[in-house]
Structure 1
Amino acid sequence: MSTPSDLTGKTVSWLEQLEQLLGGNAQLCFRDLFLEDSYWRDLVSLTWDTRQFWGGAQVEPMLLKHARAAGMRDLRLDPDRSAPVQAVIDGVVFIEAFFAFTVEVGKGKGFLRLQVGEGGAELRAQIIATSLVSLDIAPDVAQRHPGHGYEPEYPGQTFSEWRRAKGDFSGADPDVLIVGGSQSGVSLGARFERKGFTSYLIVDRSASPGDTWRKRYDALALHTNTPANDLPYLKLPSHWGEFLSKDQWADWLDSYARLMNLNCSYSTELVSGSFDEGSRTWEVVLRTADGDLRTLRPKHVVMAIGGVGGKPRIPGFPGLDQFQGEVLHSSRYKNGKRFKGQKVWVVGSSTTAHDICLDLYHSDASPTMVQRGATCVVGIQEVQKFTADYLKVSVEEADQRRDSTFILPLLVKRTQGVTAQSDIEYAELHEGLRKAGQKLTIGEDRTGWLMKLFRDLAGYYLNVGCSDAIISGGVKVLDFNRIDHFIANGARLHDGEVVEFDALVLATGYEDQSVDIAGIFGPEMARKIGRGIGLNEEGEYRNMARPTGQPHLWMMLGGIIDARKSSDVLAMQIIAQLRGLVPTLVRQASGSVAPLQADLQTTGEAISGQA
C-alpha cells in the first residue's frame, strides 16, 4: 500500500514528464505516459470547446496539438484540491489526482486517473481532463470590496441608486442578453459579476427569478438533495431540509439575484430577434411589463430557458377534440383539490406524471396514469447515492471530478454497474409495479435512470410515494396502446370498452429548445443550430454552454447542478470572444468548431488546430 507521500511523488513525476513531452522532449514517448485505452476531456481550456477523445490514436495527436497551441505549462499538483489518492476500480489500481496548469490566456485545473503498473513503478493515464477556470483579463474577484462595497458614480449615490443604475440599459445596449432568469440565467449573471463584467442583462417574462418554480404544481420538490444545489459563490443554509420544496427554492432564487446584485429585468419577454452578420450584433425586440416594445442591440444572446424549451408539447391524440371534460397540460396543473371525487387521467409516466398522480390520490381524486412508454423506476435514495460526493468534499471539487469523468464509454460502463445493482435492490418494487400494469425498463443499454437523465431528461421516476400508491391500487395504470380514440365522456378502447373519466392532464413534456428559437429568431436559425437536448455521438451535450451553429447565440442546460457548472465556462467563452482572445466560433456540420472566415487573419492562429 503506497503512502500519501509516495502517491504525491509519483504524480508529480508523471506531471513533469508530461510537461517535458509537451515541450518536445524527444526522449519521451506518449505511450509511455498514456494507456492505449485512454481518454481526454477538455472544457474550453485547450480547444475553446467542450470535447472528449477516446483511445490513444485520438488522444495523442489532439492533446499534443491543442496543448502546445494553447501554451499549456507549469503543470503541478493543485493546492486547492485533495491530495492524490489510491483507488481500485474493477480490480485495477489507480492513482487519482488533481493538478493545476497555465495557458496563454489564463489558468486551468485538471484531473488524472493513472493506472499503476506491475510493481507500482510505471504510471500511465487512463483519464486526463482539463478545464479553464480563469481568464487573466477577467479573474474572479475574491477579495472584499473596500468601503461600502460599491463604487458610486457620483458623490452621495446610495447603494440602491447605484444598483438600479447598474442594471439600467435604457440608454445603452448590454453586450450580453441572457434570456431566462431562473437558476441558469442568474448563475451566468453571477459569473459575469464576479469577473468584473457587468455589461449583461437578464430578462424573463416571469415577475421574479423564482416564479418559474413558484407557478408549477404545489406538490413539486427538488429531486436533487440540498448539499448539491449551491449556486455560484453562495451556499444554501446548512439547516435546510434535504429535498427542498419548489416554493423554498423559488424564494432562494429571488434572494440570490438580489444578493449578487444582478442586472435583471423581469416581466420582460423576448418577442423577436435577428442577427446582423456584418456588425456581429443582434437586434432584439422586448415587451416590457407595461406592454411597450423596446429594441436592444446586444453582441451575444444566451438562451437560458432550461434543458428543454418552454413550449408545452401537446400531442394530437385521436378524438381528443371531442372530449368534453377539462384538458390541461401539466404546466397549468396546480393541485388536486378541485378534482376531489373525480376520475382524472394523467397521460405520461415520467416524474411529473407520477407527482401529479400522487397529488391527485392524496386529494381524494381517482387518478389513472396513462402510460405511453416504459419507465425506469428506482427509489429517491439513488439520488442520495449519486450526490454523496458533495457531502465529502467541496462543491467545486465534486463538480470538477464529475466533469472530468463525464466520458461516454466510462459513463455507460459505470451506470450499467449501478443499474445492475439497483435492479436487484428494487426487484420487489418492480414486481409489484408490473403486477399493477406498469411497463418498466432499465434502458436499451441497461444504463438506467442516470443515462435517461443525461440523454433525454425524461423516462424515469425516483420514487417518493407514487409507486407505492400504484401497487396498492390507489393510482391505476392504463397502457396508452389500448386506447382507440377519445370520446365526449372518456375514451373507447380497441376492444370496444368505454372508460369514462372527468378530466385529462397531459404530462407530455416540452418541445426542444429549437422550437423556442424558431419562434423567436425564425426556422432557418433553428435549423442551423439543430436539436438542443441530449448527448451527441461524442458524449457531449449538443449545444449547451459551447459554440452553436449560429454566431453569438448560446444555450444553457436548466438543471441546478448543470447551471452551476456550465455557467463558468460559458461566461469565459463569451468574455474571450468579446475581448478578442479568440475569434467568433461557429459549430460546423461535422460537429467541430471553426472561426468565421473574416476572423481568420486576426485571431485564427489561436485556434488554427480546431478539429
Structure 2
Amino acid sequence: MDYLREIQGKTTHDPYFSNTNKMMMPRCVVVNGPVIVGAGPSGLAAAACLKEKGVSSLVLERSNCIASLWQLKTYDRLSLHLPKQFCELPLMSFPDDFPTYPTKQQFIKYLELYAMTFDIRPVFNQTVVLANYDHKIGLWRVKTETKTTTTTMTTEYVSRWLIVATGENAEAVVPKIEGMEEFGGSIMHTSFYKSGEIFRGKKVLVVGCGNSGMEVCLDLCNHDASPSLVVRDTVHVLPREMLGKSTFGLSMWLLKWLPMRLVDRLLLIISQLLLGDTARLGLDRPEIGPLELKNLSGKTPVLDVGTLSKIKSGDIKVCPGVNRLLEHHKVEFVNGRTEEYDAIILATGYKSNVPSWLKESEMFSKRDGLPKRPFPNGWKGECGLYAVGFTKRGLLGASMDAKKIAEHIHHQYVQ
C-alpha cells in the first residue's frame, strides 16, 4: 500500500507493549494519511470524502467485515426508519430500484457497493486498545491487537491525523437487574436477537420501549409469541408517515418555515388524530415535544411501524419497570405484581466505547464517550483529532461530519 510504511526492527522493549509467551513481535506502521477507527457507515463516509479530495486513509476495524453492527448485531426484520434519501452517504445515492425504506440486507449491499466504489479496504480484526498523541513527534500512536486461538499480534499505527468513527453504538448497554442469576430463563440483549422464531409460543418480556424494543415486540407477535413491553419512562410515538410524507421529511420541511416548538405541536396534533391517545395504552408522552427533546438530549422518538395496533389489540402488554428477577422465571415489577416469563430481551441500547481506548481529555467526555461540544461543532478536536458519527442525528449527521473533516484535512494535506 502506497500510504503505509512499516518500520522494521522495533523491539519488545517498547513500554507500550507487554510481551507474553503467546504474543508475537510487535510492528509499527507509518500511515501517510488519516487513520480512521471504525468501518461502519461513518468511517466509510469519512474515507470516501477523503478519497474524493485526493487524500488516502487507513480504516481499522475490530470485526471481520464492514458495518459489523448492521451485519452481526441487528435483527432480521430491520429496515431503515427514515426514507432512503435521508440515509445515503456522501457522493453516492441508493440504487433507484431500492424501496423508500430499504431493508437491512439492502442497506448492507449499499454499504458494500459504497466501499467498492471508493476502493475502501479496511484492515479487519484490528481491535484498538490504545490511542494517544505523542507530543514529542507530533503524531498519533494507535495500537491494535489481532488475536487468534494461539497468538496475539500487536501493531502500532502512526499518523498525523486520527478520525474516531466507532460511533454512539459501539457497545451494548446491559443493565444490572437484581436476580439475573436466579431467573433461570434466557436473557439476551437485542444485539443477539435475530428472529422471534425461536420464541414461538413463549412468553417474552422486552425491556426498553425505543424503536428496537417496539420492533422486537412486533416481530415476536408475528412469530406467535406473547410479548410484554416494559415502559419505564415517557416516550414519543409518532406515525412513520403523516399526510402522505415521511414524518421526518415533513418535520425537516416545516422547520424551514416555522419554529421548532410550533412544529412539535403540529406533529403531536396529527399523531393524536392518527394514533389516538397513547397515554391510555401506558405510553405517556414527555412534556417536551419530540423535536425539541431530540435536539436537547438526543432521544429519538419512536416511529411506529405497526406495534401500536398490537398494543391496542392486547397482543402486546405494557408493563411498568422491573424491580427484580426471581427464581423459576418470575419477574417482579415496581408495582409489586409478579409474573412468569420464558425469556427476557434487553432492548436497552448501546453506548460509545471511546474512553476505554482514546487517551485524551479535551474532546470526548469520559462519562458518555461523546464529544463535549454539541452539534454541529463536535467533529473537530485538537492535534489532528476528529470525530464522525457522534451527532445523535443518524446517517445524515455522520455525512455532514465526514464532509467537514475531509475538507479540513485536505487543506493540511496539500501544504
Q: Give the alignment's TM-score, normalised by structure 2.
A: 0.83
Q: Give the secondary-structure state (helix, strand or coil) at the position aligned to 1:529.
A: coil
Partner of 1:505: 345
Deviations along 1:93-150, one digit per CA (max 9) or x if unpaired, are xxxxxxxxxxxxxxxxxxxxxxxxxxxxxxxxxxxxxxxxxxxxxxxxxxxxxxxxxx
Shift of the 343–375 alpha-carbon distance from structure 1 to 2, 3 Å rule, reads same
What is the number of equivalent residue pairs in this alignment?
Answer: 381
- Give the aligned residue type for 1:545: W
- Give the aligned residue type for 1:551: C
Higher RCO (CA-CA < 8 Å; seq separation 6+): 2
Q: Offset at 1:359?
A: 0.8
- Unaligned residue ranges in structure 2 (runs of 5+): 8-28
Asked whether 1:420 is paired with 2:265, we answer yes
Deviations along 1:146-182, one digit per CA (max 9) or x if unpaired, are xxxxxxxxxxxxxxxxxxx357655652231101112
Q: Offset at 1:568?
A: 1.1
- Give the aligned residue type for 1:425: I
Distance in 2 between residues matched to 1:566 and 1:495, nearest whole Å: 45
Deviations along 1:45-93, one digit per CA (max 9) or x if unpaired, are xxxxxxxxxxxxxxxxxxxxxxxxxxxxxxxxxxxxxxxxxxxxxxxxx
**Residue 171 of structure 2: which of 311, 320, 326 is its match?**
311
Shift of the 457–281 alpha-carbon distance from structure 1 to 2, 3 Å rule, reads same
Partner of 2:375: 541
Asked whether 1:384 is paired with 2:246, we answer yes
Partner of 2:162: 301
- Give the aligned residue type for 2:345: V
Distance in 2 between residues matched to 1:359 and 1:417, nearest whole Å: 35
Structure 1 range deviating more: 272-281 or 460-469: 272-281
Distance in 1 between residues matched to 2:48 and 2:184, nearest whole Å: 48
The correspondence of residues 75-94 of structure 1 with structure 2, limited to 5 A, is none
Shift of the 455–204 alpha-carbon distance from structure 1 to 2, 3 Å rule, reads farther
Distance in 1 between residues matched to 2:34 and 2:346, nearest whole Å: 36
**Residue 142 of structure 2: which of 284, 289, 310 is its match?**
284
Distance in 1 between residues matched to 2:387 and 2:240, nearest whole Å: 29
- Give the aligned residue type for 1:472: S
Shift of the 387–437 alpha-carbon distance from structure 1 to 2, 3 Å rule, reads closer
Distance in 2 between residues matched to 1:468 and 1:551, nearest whole Å: 52
Distance in 1 between residues matched to 2:414 and 2:136, nearest whole Å: 18
Distance in 2 between residues matched to 1:421 and 1:521, nearest whole Å: 43
Q: Give the secondary-structure state (helix, strand or coil) at the position aligned to 2:411.
A: helix
Partner of 1:223: 81
Asked whether 1:205 is paired with 2:52, we answer no
Structure with max Cα Rg: 1
Q: Offset at 1:269?
A: 2.0
Residues 46, 388 of structure 2: 8 Å contact kept: no
Partner of 2:284: 439
Residues 181, 202 of structure 1: 8 Å contact kept: yes
**Residue 568 of structure 1: which of 384, 403, 406 is its match?**
403
Residues 532, 544 of structure 1: 8 Å contact kept: no
Deviations along 1:156-211, one digit per CA (max 9) or x if unpaired, are xxxxxxxxx3576556522311011121111111111111111x101112322243
Distance in 2 between residues matched to 1:311 and 1:225, nearest whole Å: 26
Deviations along 1:263-285, one digit per CA (max 9) or x if unpaired, are 42123221222221222212222
Deviations along 1:333-354, one digit per CA (max 9) or x if unpaired, are 1111111111111111111111
Q: Offset at 1:579?
A: 5.2
The correspondence of residues 470-549 of structure 1 with structure 2, limited to 5 A, is 470-480=311-321, 483-488=322-327, 489-494=329-334, 496-511=336-351, 513=352, 516-522=353-359, 525-526=360-361, 529-530=364-365, 531=368, 533=370, 540-541=374-375, 544-547=378-381
Partner of 1:464: 305
Deviations along 1:235-274, one digit per CA (max 9) or x if unpaired, are 2112210001111101111111111112421232212222
Percent of aligned pairs sharing the same letter: 24
Deviations along 1:314-349, one digit per CA (max 9) or x if unpaired, are 222233332211111111211111111111111111
Q: Offset at 1:376?
A: 0.4
Distance in 2 between residues matched to 1:491 and 1:385, nearest whole Å: 36
Q: Give the alignment's TM-score, normalised by structure 1.
A: 0.58
Shift of the 333–169 alpha-carbon distance from structure 1 to 2, 3 Å rule, reads farther
Distance in 1 between residues matched to 2:169 and 2:387, nearest whole Å: 11
Distance in 2 between residues matched to 1:545 and 1:528, nearest whole Å: 9
Distance in 2 between residues matched to 1:284 and 1:257, nearest whole Å: 23
Distance in 2 between residues matched to 1:429 and 1:214, nearest whole Å: 34
RMSD: 2.8
Q: Offset at 1:451?
A: 3.5
**Residue 42 of structure 2: which of 155, 162, 184 is its match?**
184
The correspondence of residues 318-337 of structure 1 with structure 2, limited to 5 A, is 318-337=178-197
Shift of the 295–251 alpha-carbon distance from structure 1 to 2, 3 Å rule, reads same
